[in-house]
Structure 1
Amino acid sequence: MNTNIPYNFSSPLYNKALDIFAISRNISNYMMDDLNALCIHGKEDSNIYFTGDIVQQSVSLAPGILKAEHQVFSEDKHRYAASVRNLTNLLDKNCDRLERCNSNGKEFIKVLRIELKKFKKLQRNWLLTL
């Protein structure tokens, strides 16, 4: 594996991954306040875990893109690209779950979905270039 990743690496897909991370982190922080309260029976809202999941999955997008870009062999590139595709699908599923929760921040999920849609379009083109 090539460990010499340039600090000035820039691609539209990588930049969009960074945007998705920033958006998901802000959404998580906003929604955590609403979902942090205990329910009627003294149990926590299980949807609070999905806010952490979107942050964890979005933080892994950019490194996956970098790893795929800097691999020598095509099989390795496609393995990391598949990982990025799986993370994108998981993000989409967690957006579904968060849209169904009882929070004032669920309208901000639409912003993340728009960015994910743009990311998927860039991702399709990126996969063709690997």
Structure 2
Amino acid sequence: MSANIPSHLFEMPIYKKAIEIFALSQNISRYLNHDLSHLNSDGSEDVDIYFSGDIVQQSVSLLPEIVSAELERYSERKHYHIASLKRLTNKLYSNSYRLEKSNSNGKDFLPILRSELKKFRKLQRSWMLTL
């Protein structure tokens, strides 16, 4: 993150929720990787391991999109970042469902992630009205 981020962004509920989602997805991914990193009997790897990395990458991308939308001067560019944030949230949600079908004990934590994403979506809707 850039050093010239206004301090008020750190106090915004959507920013705080994005940090929580990142931490949660990172912990879930770490837990799932332990179960999914083994090779199958035919020597292939479990394809679900990639979705665990995807949730981390998508959740880490939430913060820069929020900051970019807040700092952008032109409404057209703001809408671009808002649309990108919506896509990331939707992908996170769908990947959590894909991971829930995996062969791991960590899949029990994915409903918690989806619950946090629902809260994030509500915050996102009210935040968009302020831009």
Give 2:47's aligned residue.
Answer: 46
CA distance in 2 between counterparts of 1:125 and 1:86 reads 17
Deviation at 1:39, TM superposition (A): 1.1
* CA shift digits 1:68-98 (9 cap, x unpaired): 0011111111110111000000001100100
Deviation at 1:4, TM superposition (A): 3.3
Give 2:27's aligned residue.
Answer: 26
Give 1:110's aligned residue.
Answer: 111
Provide the secondary structure at the position in 1 that maps to 2:41: coil
* Residue type at the aligned position of 1:6: P
Deviation at 1:113, TM superposition (A): 0.7
CA distance in 2 between counterparts of 1:7 and 1:30 reads 33
Unaligned runs of 5+ in 1: none
> Percent of counterpart pairs with the same letter?
57
Deviation at 1:21, TM superposition (A): 0.2
Structure 1 residue 85 and structure 2 residue 86: aligned? yes
CA distance in 1 between counterparts of 2:64 and 2:24 reads 17
Give 1:95's aligned residue.
Answer: 96
CA distance in 1 between counterparts of 2:93 and 2:79 reads 21
Give 1:11's aligned residue.
Answer: 12
Deviation at 1:7, TM superposition (A): 4.5
CA distance in 2 between counterparts of 1:74 and 1:24 reads 31
Normalised to the residue count of structure 1, the TM-score between the two structures is 0.94
After superposition, where does 1:111-126 map in structure 2 within 5 Å? 111-126=112-127
Deviation at 1:8, TM superposition (A): 5.3
* Residue type at the aligned position of 1:118: K
Instruction: State the aligned residue count.
Output: 128
CA distance in 2 between counterparts of 1:4 and 1:38 reads 45
TM-align CA RMSD: 1.2
* CA shift digits 1:21-79 (9 cap, x unpaired): 00000000000000001112111000000000000000000110000001111111111
Runs of 4+ in 1 over 3 A off after TM superposition: none
